[in-house]
Amino acid sequence: MEAYKILFLDIDGTIMRPDETMEESTKTAIARVQEQGIETVLATGRPLHEIAEIGQLLNINSFIGYNGAYAVYQGHDVFKKPMSSSSVELFLDTARQHGHELVLYSSTKNHFTTLAGRVVERFMEQFHLKKNEAFTSDVLDDILGITIIGSADNDAELYKSKEGIYLSQVNVDGFRNCFDVIRSNVNKGTGVNALLSQLDIPRSAAIAFGDGMNDKDMLSAVGESFAMGNSMPELFAFAKHNTTEVTNSGVFNGLKSLGLVD
């Protein structure tokens, strides 16, 4: 059996169910691989300042946040790559033109283009965002990621002229008009590769689970990749394996297929 050394886990739709709870089988699977000395990393589009409780629950201290823009290993920064201020301004301008709201994530806060309105309140509630404030130009140079809160599923087309980026639809019911902004040269895959390089771990010894298109680069960067049963259909082409849904022991069953849990 391959000597696996590291496990990368997306959060929403992978370890967290749509109701923001976690299956006991998921907690059990993670604890068992940790007992075997396998490093566990949360790799998420969420900002790192909002996932401390999840890390504590699972005894995880290493993270890739903001869809690959900021990585922390055992409490120490590995890298931090803010977006260019000119790129951020382009997204702000496009959002204003089309009546969309943005969430711009800095290293310490979630900066909303407006704090008013039910759609923004629902977004905060769904993703448990607590450190929120109105966006100001003072933080323009510290933006690590952006989520577009659009009004329709096809709003991504309005932003496709921005070079070096792609938009990943949020794979959560009720929020499919929202899109994470992913940079082609800064994504979960580049974060995974940076950690593997720093820890001198070959990709064949790495495992990853995901469910959204923001996970495609991560799944392509490891030796054993799993698309959850609830994944966006386009993601399956990027995964070596499919597993069951997040509501049906998807992480546990995937790790079981590798002989890591029983």
Q: Domain boundary at 183, 216, 237, which?
A: 183
Which value, to the nearest 10 degrees, does the dihedral of the CA atoms of residues 83, 84, 88, 94 take? Answer: -120
List helix spans (H) across the chain.
24-35, 52-58, 85-98, 118-126, 188-199, 216-220, 250-257
Q: Domain boundary at 183, 206, 229, which?
A: 183
For 19-74, how does the pLDDT look when each residue is reduced to its tens digit (9 = 90+)?
Answer: 889 999 999 999 999 999 999 999 999 999 999 999 999 999 999 999 999 999 99
Quickly state the pLDDT bin for 154 (edges 50, 70, 90).
confident
- pTM, two decimals, is 0.91
End-to-end CA distance of the chain: 15
> CB neighbours of 107 closer than 8 A, spacing ≥ 6?
47, 48, 49, 70, 80, 142, 144
* Residue 193, domain member (yes or no): yes
Same domain, yes or no: 178 and 94: yes
Q: Domain boundary at 165, 183, 201, which?
A: 183
The total domain count for the chain is 2
CATH code of the domain in which 109 resides: 3.30.1240.10
Same domain, yes or no: 62 and 95: no
Residue 188 has pLDDT above 90, yes or no: yes
Mean pLDDT calculated for residue range 121-148: 95
List helix spans (H) across 13-171.
24-35, 52-58, 85-98, 118-126
Per-residue model confidence (pLDDT) at position 161: 64
* Residue 122, domain member (yes or no): yes
Q: Which range marks the domain in which residue 235 is found?
A: 6-81+186-257
Give which of 202, 164, 178 is closest to 81, Cα–Cα. Answer: 164
